[in-house]
Copies of this chain bind each other. A is one copy, B any other.
């Protein structure tokens, strides 16, 4: 089996196990909670997600030497928190669809979306506390804190068109990095790993998450709609400064920079300016530089895995490596 095949097969088989653990949790709680809440939870949890966050917790625990199916009880917490975040985000962004289906607040109303998010949030924290202990709970709740903090940063940065690369890194850390990183770190804590291993897995998660988000932001300009299923240019249309644009604004000469600011400043005309903006980004190597940054992140993620040379965890290491390559090469 090639590394890529092994990774895809692992994603498939582990996501089935995570799904089973989530289903049995819903069945357990069904007699005690409102049937409408159960319906909303089923709708938002079983939507074809790849369960990457739970998978990372599973792999982190195993690479630290603990192979115990009890991990699935813990791992589902990461999908719960992820789903809670998406539900609240879709309310906040007024997004109508999620994975091609109506968003929860469209299907069940805004009240149900907010409340079901709160419910999953509480349940995820209780799971982490009971399964992995108080230190893990601290890591997990700090991740929520940083996610919220990142969104406040975005809120303040709306219509601010001269963000620095540092601002961007902080924003994507909150958006993607911290939860992925928490999944890795909590998995390590559950396995009672040493401090070094714990830190290595936390950093692996940070770098993987940042690489993922950088490529995501690249695809928003360069993606093939046939593959991604999404129109390009959404970030530009929303006035969101992502890395390709930030690097370009930093490097552009006075005239080009003024033109970029002009296009960004006109809220209704931004989408029309997509081709011109893309041309300017290409002119200043903004796309290539973004890819290079993502690759640097990927390399840093891979380097963390050197701490786990043990042959007994070769397979987990291979999958964690495969995920980095997958993130960097993805076209959708």
Contact = CB atoms under 8 A, between A and B. Distances in A.
Interface stretch (A146-154, A237-245, A248-256, A310-318): A146-154
B137 A126 contact: yes
Interface in A105-121: 109-112, 114-119, 121
Nearest to A137: B129
A37 interface: yes
A324 to B, nearest CB: 29
B111 A92 contact: yes
A153 B37 CA distance: 9
Contacts of A152: 33-34, 36-37, 112, 115
B118 A155 contact: no
Interface in A122-140: 122-123, 125-126, 129-130, 133-134, 137-138
A265 interface: no
B125 A122 contact: yes
B119 A122 contact: no
Interface residues of A, number: 40
A155 B33 CA distance: 13
Nearest to A93: B111
A156 interface: yes
A144 interface: yes
Interface string A62-88: 000000000000000000000000001
Contact of A118 (B110, B116, B121, B137): B121
A142 interface: yes
Interface in A160-175: none
Contacts of A300: none
A91 interface: yes
A152 B145 CA distance: 26
A134 to B, nearest CB: 5
Given A88-B118, A119-B149, A130-B134, 16 more contacts: A34-B149, A34-B152, A36-B152, A91-B114, A92-B114, A109-B155, A112-B152, A118-B118, A118-B148, A119-B148, A121-B144, A123-B141, A126-B137, A130-B137, A134-B134, A137-B137
19 contacts: A36-B152, A36-B155, A37-B148, A92-B114, A114-B114, A118-B118, A119-B144, A119-B148, A119-B149, A121-B121, A121-B144, A122-B141, A122-B144, A125-B125, A125-B126, A125-B141, A126-B142, A129-B129, A129-B137
